[in-house]
Amino acid sequence: MSLLQAILMGLIQGIAEFLPISSSGHLAIFQYIFKVNTDTGMLFEVMLHLGTLVAVCVVFWKDVKKLFMEGIHLLVDACGNLKTFFVTKFRHGEGEYRRVITNAYRKFVLLILITTIPTGIIGIVLSGVVDTASSSLLIPGICLIINAIVLLIVGSLPGGKKKVKASSYKDAAAIGVAQGIAVLPGISRSGSTISACLALGFDRSFAVKYSFIASLPAIVGANLLELRHLGTAVSSGGNFLYYIIGMVVAGVVGYICIRIMMYVVTNKKFTYFAYYCAAAGVISLIFNFFIK
Average pLDDT over residues 68-73: 94
Q: What is the mean pLDDT of the chain?
A: 85
Q: What is the pLDDT of residue 207?
A: 92
Res 236 pLDDT > 60: no
Q: Kindly report, residue by residue over 169-211, the tens digit of the pLDDT.
A: 999 999 999 999 998 889 998 899 999 999 999 998 899 999 9
pLDDT reported for residue 134: 66
Mean pLDDT of the region 202-223: 87
pLDDT tens column, 128-170: 777 777 678 888 899 999 999 998 888 777 778 999 999 999 9
Question: How high is the pLDDT of residue 38?
Answer: 58
**What's the whole-model pTM score?**
0.85
What is the predicted pLDDT for the residue at 282? 94
CA gap 115, 221 in Å, rounded: 13
- Looking at residue 42, what is its pLDDT? 61
